[in-house]
Amino acid sequence: MGTTKKAYRWRTTTIGLACAALLAGGAGTAVAAPSAVPDLHSRAVAAAAATSHEKIDVKASAKSVKAGESVTLSGRTKGIPTGSKLTVQHLNKGKWTTLHASTKTKHGGHYSVKVKLGKKGKEKLRVAHGKTHSSTVTVTVH
């Protein structure tokens, strides 16, 4: 029975010390002044925090192709998890539209995707992941 009382005292002391350390380490300020802590549960703040560090680089394998041929877009991402879906978009009548070309990021953020271009003229393309997108590359289709 003496062992049980010692174990109980040990656990109580350990928990008390852990709570005191948390309060002294700054958790008390978060509890005492919740208005000083930013609201990270807000959708706008969470979305801005999630996308602010994401980046997509892109380059095209050719600057011009014949109608019906493919061009390969490749590059590297930063801040986007491995295996995430990337889509290809093109500028159509002033709006970015998603094409039927997509890929997933590989280890190290690398990606590569082929896009078949059929419409003659200058095609403005970019790679997107959610609200994050790459810079625009222009490919002439003749």
Kindly tell me if the per-residue pLDDT of 115 is higher than 90. yes
Q: Could you give the count of Cα atoms lying within 13 Å of 89 in the half-sphere of its Cβ? A: 20
pLDDT bin (cut points 50, 70, 90) of residue 19 is low
pLDDT at 9: 76
pLDDT at 36: 53
Contact 117, 125 (CB under 8 A): no
Least-confidence region, from 27-41, 46-60, 110-124, 126-140? 27-41
Q: Within a 10 A sphere around the Cβ of 105, how many other Cβ atoms?
A: 19
pLDDT at 120: 95
Say which residue the tokens 């990021």 belong to: 105
Say which residue the tokens 């948390």 belong to: 22
Whether the predicted model's global pTM rises above the 0.75 cut: no
How does pLDDT run across 69-92, given as a tens digit for each residue?
A: 999 999 999 999 999 999 999 999
Question: Under the phi-then-psi rule, with left for phi > 0, alpha for psi from -120 to 50, and beta for the rest, what region is 106?
Answer: beta
